[in-house]
Protein backbone atom coordinates (compact mmCIF):
# COMPACT_ATOMS: atom_id res chain seq x y z
CA UNK A 1 0.00 0.00 0.00
CA UNK A 2 1.47 3.30 -1.00
CA UNK A 3 1.72 6.16 1.49
CA UNK A 4 -1.06 8.24 -0.13
CA UNK A 5 -3.63 5.46 0.13
CA UNK A 6 -2.52 4.70 3.65
CA UNK A 7 -3.11 8.29 4.80
CA UNK A 8 -6.52 8.37 3.14
CA UNK A 9 -7.61 5.26 5.03
CA UNK A 10 -6.32 6.54 8.34
CA UNK A 11 -7.81 10.05 7.94
CA UNK A 12 -11.19 8.51 7.13
CA UNK A 13 -11.45 6.73 10.49
CA UNK A 14 -8.32 6.07 12.58
CA UNK A 15 -10.27 3.89 15.03
CA UNK A 16 -11.63 1.46 12.43
CA UNK A 17 -8.95 0.34 10.00
CA UNK A 18 -9.11 -2.54 7.55
CA UNK A 19 -6.67 -5.46 7.61
CA UNK A 20 -4.53 -4.13 4.79
CA UNK A 21 -4.03 -0.81 6.59
CA UNK A 22 -3.19 -2.53 9.87
CA UNK A 23 -0.60 -4.64 8.07
CA UNK A 24 0.93 -1.47 6.63
CA UNK A 25 1.21 -0.05 10.15
CA UNK A 26 3.08 -3.08 11.39
CA UNK A 27 5.59 -2.76 8.57
CA UNK A 28 6.48 0.90 9.34
CA UNK A 29 7.08 2.41 12.81
CA UNK A 30 6.48 5.96 11.47
CA UNK A 31 3.04 4.92 10.28
CA UNK A 32 2.24 3.50 13.71
CA UNK A 33 3.25 6.77 15.38
CA UNK A 34 1.13 8.74 12.87
CA UNK A 35 -1.95 6.61 13.60
CA UNK A 36 -1.46 6.96 17.36
CA UNK A 37 -1.40 10.77 17.05
CA UNK A 38 -4.61 10.77 15.01
CA UNK A 39 -6.33 8.46 17.50
CA UNK A 40 -5.31 10.75 20.38
CA UNK A 41 -6.57 13.79 18.50
CA UNK A 42 -9.83 12.03 17.69
CA UNK A 43 -10.28 11.16 21.35
CA UNK A 44 -9.64 14.77 22.43
CA UNK A 45 -12.28 15.99 20.00
CA UNK A 46 -14.83 13.48 21.33
CA UNK A 47 -14.13 14.57 24.91
CA UNK A 48 -14.43 18.23 23.99
CA UNK A 49 -17.82 17.59 22.42
CA UNK A 50 -19.02 15.48 25.30
CA UNK A 51 -20.21 18.34 27.52
CA UNK A 52 -22.99 17.91 30.03
CA UNK A 53 -25.95 20.24 29.45
CA UNK A 54 -26.60 22.37 32.56
CA UNK A 55 -29.91 21.64 34.23
CA UNK A 56 -30.90 25.34 34.16
CA UNK A 57 -29.96 25.89 30.50
CA UNK A 58 -33.58 25.83 29.40
CA UNK A 59 -34.53 28.48 31.97
CA UNK A 60 -31.57 30.65 30.97
CA UNK A 61 -32.46 30.45 27.29
CA UNK A 62 -36.07 31.38 28.03
CA UNK A 63 -34.93 34.31 30.21
CA UNK A 64 -32.53 35.52 27.51
CA UNK A 65 -35.27 35.36 24.89
CA UNK A 66 -37.53 37.34 27.24
CA UNK A 67 -34.88 40.06 27.57
CA UNK A 68 -34.40 40.20 23.78
CA UNK A 69 -38.15 40.45 23.23
CA UNK A 70 -38.41 43.20 25.86
CA UNK A 71 -35.64 45.23 24.23
CA UNK A 72 -37.32 44.89 20.84
CA UNK A 73 -40.62 46.10 22.30
CA UNK A 74 -38.89 49.06 23.94
CA UNK A 75 -37.24 50.01 20.65
CA UNK A 76 -40.61 49.81 18.89
CA UNK A 77 -42.17 52.02 21.58
CA UNK A 78 -39.41 54.61 21.14
CA UNK A 79 -39.92 54.58 17.38
CA UNK A 80 -43.67 54.99 17.81
CA UNK A 81 -43.16 57.85 20.26
CA UNK A 82 -40.76 59.56 17.86
CA UNK A 83 -43.23 59.20 15.00
CA UNK A 84 -46.04 60.52 17.18
CA UNK A 85 -43.90 63.50 18.22
CA UNK A 86 -43.03 64.21 14.57
CA UNK A 87 -46.69 64.09 13.57
CA UNK A 88 -47.62 66.38 16.46
CA UNK A 89 -44.85 68.80 15.47
CA UNK A 90 -45.99 68.90 11.84
CA UNK A 91 -49.61 69.37 12.89
CA UNK A 92 -48.55 72.16 15.24
CA UNK A 93 -46.73 73.95 12.44
CA UNK A 94 -49.68 73.45 10.12
CA UNK A 95 -52.06 74.90 12.70
CA UNK A 96 -49.73 77.80 13.25
CA UNK A 97 -49.58 78.57 9.53
CA UNK A 98 -53.32 78.16 9.23
CA UNK A 99 -53.76 80.59 12.11
CA UNK A 100 -52.03 83.27 10.07
CA UNK A 101 -53.50 82.46 6.67
CA UNK A 102 -57.05 81.59 5.78
CA UNK A 103 -58.48 83.19 8.95
CA UNK A 104 -57.56 86.69 7.73
CA UNK A 105 -58.44 88.44 4.49
CA UNK A 106 -56.63 91.73 5.01
CA UNK A 107 -52.97 92.56 5.41
CA UNK A 108 -53.68 94.54 8.57
CA UNK A 109 -55.60 91.75 10.35
CA UNK A 110 -52.87 89.28 9.51
CA UNK A 111 -50.12 91.63 10.73
CA UNK A 112 -51.92 92.33 14.01
CA UNK A 113 -52.45 88.61 14.60
CA UNK A 114 -48.73 88.04 14.06
CA UNK A 115 -47.82 90.75 16.61
CA UNK A 116 -50.27 89.38 19.20
CA UNK A 117 -48.94 85.87 18.69
CA UNK A 118 -45.45 87.06 19.68
CA UNK A 119 -46.62 89.21 22.58
CA UNK A 120 -43.93 89.23 25.28
CA UNK A 121 -41.18 87.86 23.05
CA UNK A 122 -39.63 91.29 22.49
CA UNK A 123 -39.16 94.27 24.82
CA UNK A 124 -37.51 97.69 24.77
CA UNK A 125 -34.95 96.41 27.26
CA UNK A 126 -33.48 93.95 24.76
CA UNK A 127 -30.15 94.89 23.10
CA UNK A 128 -30.40 96.51 19.67
CA UNK A 129 -27.33 95.00 18.04
CA UNK A 130 -28.54 93.95 14.57
CA UNK A 131 -26.24 95.64 12.07
CA UNK A 132 -27.24 97.31 8.83
CA UNK A 133 -25.15 94.76 6.92
CA UNK A 134 -27.04 91.88 8.55
CA UNK A 135 -30.37 93.54 7.78
CA UNK A 136 -29.50 94.14 4.13
CA UNK A 137 -28.27 90.58 3.78
CA UNK A 138 -31.82 89.44 4.54
CA UNK A 139 -33.34 92.21 2.43
CA UNK A 140 -31.66 90.74 -0.65
CA UNK A 141 -34.39 88.09 -0.65
CA UNK A 142 -36.89 90.87 -1.40
CA UNK A 143 -34.69 92.75 -3.91
CA UNK A 144 -34.35 95.64 -1.50
CA UNK A 145 -31.95 97.35 0.90
CA UNK A 146 -31.76 100.15 3.49
CA UNK A 147 -29.40 103.12 3.09
CA UNK A 148 -29.28 103.49 6.85
CA UNK A 149 -30.91 102.31 10.05
CA UNK A 150 -34.39 103.71 10.66
CA UNK A 151 -34.13 102.96 14.38
CA UNK A 152 -32.51 100.72 16.99
CA UNK A 153 -32.99 97.26 15.50
CA UNK A 154 -33.61 94.49 18.07
CA UNK A 155 -34.38 91.62 15.69
CA UNK A 156 -34.43 90.87 11.97
CA UNK A 157 -35.67 87.37 11.18
CA UNK A 158 -37.59 85.65 8.41
CA UNK A 159 -41.15 84.61 9.17
CA UNK A 160 -44.20 83.16 7.41
CA UNK A 161 -46.86 85.68 6.49
CA UNK A 162 -49.92 83.99 4.99
CA UNK A 163 -47.57 81.20 3.86
CA UNK A 164 -45.13 83.63 2.24
CA UNK A 165 -41.52 84.08 3.30
CA UNK A 166 -41.40 87.57 4.83
CA UNK A 167 -39.08 89.65 6.98
CA UNK A 168 -40.01 90.54 10.56
CA UNK A 169 -38.16 93.59 11.96
CA UNK A 170 -38.46 94.71 15.58
CA UNK A 171 -37.21 98.17 16.63
CA UNK A 172 -37.04 99.92 19.97
CA UNK A 173 -39.93 102.34 20.39
CA UNK A 174 -40.78 105.05 22.87
CA UNK A 175 -42.53 102.72 25.31
CA UNK A 176 -42.69 99.36 23.51
CA UNK A 177 -41.23 97.71 20.39
CA UNK A 178 -42.21 98.80 16.90
CA UNK A 179 -42.77 96.05 14.34
CA UNK A 180 -42.02 96.38 10.61
CA UNK A 181 -42.95 93.63 8.13
CA UNK A 182 -41.50 93.31 4.63
CA UNK A 183 -44.06 91.17 2.79
CA UNK A 184 -44.21 90.01 -0.85
CA UNK A 185 -47.20 91.20 -2.83
CA UNK A 186 -50.29 89.00 -2.46
CA UNK A 187 -53.38 89.83 -4.49
CA UNK A 188 -55.54 87.74 -2.12
CA UNK A 189 -54.86 90.06 0.83
CA UNK A 190 -56.65 93.38 0.90
CA UNK A 191 -54.41 96.31 1.85
CA UNK A 192 -55.50 99.05 4.26
CA UNK A 193 -53.17 102.06 4.39
CA UNK A 194 -54.15 102.79 8.03
CA UNK A 195 -55.65 100.52 10.70
CA UNK A 196 -55.90 100.25 14.47
CA UNK A 197 -57.41 98.29 17.36
CA UNK A 198 -57.55 98.91 21.12
CA UNK A 199 -53.79 98.25 21.56
CA UNK A 200 -51.99 98.98 18.30
CA UNK A 201 -52.11 101.16 15.23
CA UNK A 202 -50.53 100.52 11.88
CA UNK A 203 -49.62 101.77 8.43
CA UNK A 204 -49.24 99.74 5.22
CA UNK A 205 -47.31 100.98 2.18
CA UNK A 206 -47.45 99.11 -1.12
CA UNK A 207 -44.44 98.96 -3.44
CA UNK A 208 -43.99 97.24 -6.79
CA UNK A 209 -43.07 93.81 -5.45
CA UNK A 210 -43.47 94.11 -1.67
CA UNK A 211 -45.60 95.64 1.04
CA UNK A 212 -44.22 97.31 4.16
CA UNK A 213 -46.39 97.20 7.29
CA UNK A 214 -45.57 99.22 10.42
CA UNK A 215 -47.28 98.45 13.76
CA UNK A 216 -46.75 100.27 17.07
CA UNK A 217 -48.55 101.38 20.21
CA UNK A 218 -50.39 104.71 20.57
CA UNK A 219 -47.26 106.58 21.74
CA UNK A 220 -45.49 106.24 18.40
CA UNK A 221 -45.80 108.67 15.49
CA UNK A 222 -46.34 106.32 12.60
CA UNK A 223 -45.93 109.07 10.02
CA UNK A 224 -42.32 109.53 11.19
CA UNK A 225 -41.63 105.82 10.92
CA UNK A 226 -43.20 105.74 7.48
CA UNK A 227 -41.09 108.70 6.36
CA UNK A 228 -37.93 107.01 7.66
CA UNK A 229 -38.75 103.81 5.79
CA UNK A 230 -39.54 105.59 2.51
CA UNK A 231 -36.42 107.75 2.66
CA UNK A 232 -34.07 104.86 3.46
CA UNK A 233 -35.42 101.84 1.60
CA UNK A 234 -34.36 101.10 -1.97
CA UNK A 235 -35.70 98.47 -4.36
CA UNK A 236 -33.59 96.95 -7.12
CA UNK A 237 -36.58 96.05 -9.30
Q: Are 141 and 184 in contact (CB under 8 A)?
A: no
Superfamily assignment of 107-235 in CATH? Answer: MucB/RseB, C-terminal domain (3.30.200.100)
The fraction of the chain above a pLDDT of 90, given in percent, is 40
85-105 pLDDT, tens digit per residue, is 666 655 555 545 444 444 567
Q: Are 153 and 168 in contact (CB under 8 A)?
A: no
174-216 pLDDT, tens digit per residue, is 999 999 999 998 887 888 899 999 999 999 999 888 999 999 9
Burial, 136: exposed, middle or buried (Cβ in 10 Å; 0-12, 13-18, 19+)?
A: middle
Domain-wise residue ranges, the chain: 3-49, 107-235
Model pTM score: 0.57
The two beta strands, 233-235 and 210-216, are unpaired
Closest C-alpha to 188, from 162, 212, 158: 162
Cβ atoms within 10 A of the Cβ of 53, count?
7
3-state DSSP percent of the chain in helix, strand and coil, to 5: 50, 20, 30
Q: Where are the beta strands (DSSP E) in 63-193?
A: 144-146, 153-161, 164-171, 178-184
Amino acid sequence: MDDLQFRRNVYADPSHLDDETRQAIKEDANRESFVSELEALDQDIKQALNIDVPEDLKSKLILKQTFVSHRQQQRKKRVHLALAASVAFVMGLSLKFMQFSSAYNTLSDHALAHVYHEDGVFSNQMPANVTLASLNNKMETFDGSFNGQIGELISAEYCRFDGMKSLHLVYKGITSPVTVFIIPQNKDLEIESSFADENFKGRAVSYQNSNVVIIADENEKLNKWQENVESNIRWST
